Chain A
Amino acid sequence: MEQAKLALSAAALAAQTILECSGEIYRAEETAIRMCEAFGLGRAEIMCFPTGFMLCVQTECGESLTRIKRVRDRSIQLQTLDEVNTISRASAAGQLTAGQALEALERLRSAPRPRHALMALAYAASAGFFSVMFGGGWREFALAFVAGGLTQGLVPLFRRLNAAAPLISMAGGFIAAASSLVLIGLMGGNQEAVISGAIMPLLPGLAITNAVRDTMRGDLVAGMARTTEALLSAVLLAAGVAAALML
């Protein structure tokens, strides 16, 4: 019984981590079921949504165990997603016991997040290169680099204020466009290339990709939820940029 509970906890934690890292629904479901099977639990059923899941198994003595988990914090962490995948594969291959898998998942979840400065640098560099791609030169690269760094530097502050996710997207668009406009006012440059480069990393690309993948797999509820999320954040991003342009 204790063993079954441990196994169920490991499977549930894996599903939770995948949802928190913006993985697809079928990946969370399949991972949990595969881990339950690997740890010798009988029939497992799971119902997953982007915002939570219910996992239920029947043990050998005929008892059923259930885990219900609400998932609140969702962010994009592809590295973590890959590591959960590795743990689930190792469990399915019999290389990890339930206890070891649970421990590995907990270690993974408590691993330190990458530094803000590094993320700001990554945003800045990608914004700079996007603006070159959109026809900018060295000047546009430099301006989009600074505007991008500012955006990624400031947006986490809004997150700390517990603002709603769509509002954070709007703030991101506003900061990117407003700082680009100020920089162009000071130093001149091609406005189109700078601003479109600076907002490019904010476009909800992962949300759209996952929405399509979920819908095609038949996870209609998740697909619709993610489509709405992507549309909402795209519209509010546009509103933020438009607000900066109209000022």
Chain B
Amino acid sequence: MNILIQCLASMFASAFFGELLRQPRRTLPYTSLIGLNGYIIYLLMGKTGTAFFVAGLAVGLLCELTARIQRMATTIFLVSAIIPIVPGLGVYRTIMYLASQDFAMATSTGVETLTGIGAIALALTIATTIFSNIRLPLHPEHPTP
């Protein structure tokens, strides 16, 4: 039950975050669903470093695909769709340990958080590279964005 509520929260958080970034309103349903999808993959894989990577890859590929279909820039979709799996809790815990001068815990939490961010960045890069090398037969008269 808790998990279900968290998943729903991730979807709404992503939608309102998109509004905060002044994302075009008609793209909000797509990004919140992609965000939900990424968060579910992340939970199913047990919140490990690999989970960040696989969830990030799924989000990246779905965003690139949606951007192609909608003929819009990928960035518009990417930022709010990826936000549910960004390790905000890890960032907070690192700051908390630093503030209480527990440097051993701060280092290990910090490195774990950075690994997560690095895995997401790598996954997004791979997704972009995959899509920049294939031409979808969606809108053949125009070059892809």
Contacts and interface: CB of A to CB of B under 8 A. Distances in A.
Nearest to A92: B142
A210 interface: yes
Interface in B16-58: 16-24, 39
Given A132-B6, A208-B117, A216 B73 contact: no
B117 A125 contact: no
A77 B73 CA distance: 13
B13 to A, nearest CB: 4
Interface stretch (A4-12, A50-58, A158-166, A197-205): A197-205
Contact of A81 (B15, B19, B73, B95): B73
A76 B21 contact: yes
Given A76-B22, A78-B24, A196-B92, A23 B9 contact: no
B76 A81 contact: yes
B10 A129 contact: yes
Given A133-B9, A200-B83, A242 B95 contact: yes
A220 interface: no
Interface string B69-106: 00111011011001110101101111110111000000
Contacts, number: 141
Interface residues of A, number: 49
Contacts of A85: 72-73, 145
Contacts of A123: 16, 20
B108 interface: no
27 contacts: A23-B75, A27-B73, A78-B18, A78-B22, A78-B75, A81-B76, A82-B73, A122-B20, A126-B12, A126-B14, A126-B19, A129-B13, A133-B6, A134-B88, A195-B92, A196-B88, A196-B93, A199-B92, A203-B91, A205-B86, A206-B79, A212-B125, A216-B129, A238-B94, A238-B95, A241-B92, A242-B98
